[in-house]
Amino acid sequence: EGKMPDFIEASDIRGDLHCHSNWSDGESSIAEMGEACRKRGYSYVAITDHSRSLRVANGLTIVDLKKKKRQIDALNRSMKGCTILFGTEADIDNEGAIDYPDDVLREFDIVVAAIHTGLHQSAEQITRRLVNACKNKYVHIIAHPTGRLWGVRDAYPMDIGEVCRAAADTGTALEINSFPDRLDVNDEICRFAKKSGVRFAIDSDSHHIGHLDALRFGISVARRGWLTKHDVLNTRTLLNLRKELKKK
């Protein structure tokens, strides 16, 4: 009937908004990640190393952040064609508060928030944590929102409808995490969330330059969920991405 949308294509992606470096638990340097993204034709890449409470992943202290920011600024002065965004994957605590205080969060170009602990709490508590994280005006994206790890654990219990309403109401994007061990947001959640007015980010969650190629898996999920490029943050130009992030 000609009613199907123009599904998102790999060529629509202009950058990756969730990547790690060897500042936390990644294997590649920031420079290596930036150069690898430049070679892929990306306009930007967000280096979102773990926050301070996730010590098992070498989470960054506030002192570390200042040093990392100086390195990113220096790289952006020398690297042409791909801008490195100063980001974090900040932990969501048991009440939904974010691991860094607001005066630190506002210094980031982009804040990705995620649950890594308390995975066996009740659906009510998990939902409250995610909703409260969405309400933080400095949080732009909720990473791997359902917490599923293939072959390791199922998704944690939560009210996906309530989370989607909070994300839509606050302008917080939900992540389609492309890392093969995750892919925790499936096509049905994509379709439901889109109907609820939610925006998305399709990210690789790379911990090495070789992981960047995983983005194609997230794009496949998005296509099955009937997403177009207009539904996805990282199809924007750098200028328009910054405008979208500042709206929060």
| Residue 26: per-residue pLDDT | 96
| Residue 3: per-residue pLDDT | 85
- CA 13/CA 198 separation, integer angstroms: 18
| Residue 196: per-residue pLDDT | 97
| Residue 58: per-residue pLDDT | 87
| Residue 183: per-residue pLDDT | 97
| Residue 70: per-residue pLDDT | 98
| Residue 55: per-residue pLDDT | 83
The model carries a pTM of 0.97
| Residue 57: per-residue pLDDT | 82
| Residue 228: per-residue pLDDT | 98
Instruction: List per-block mean pLDDT (blocks of 10 residues) for the chain, which spans 248 residues.
Output: 93 98 97 98 98 89 97 96 98 97 98 96 98 98 97 96 98 98 97 98 98 98 98 98 95
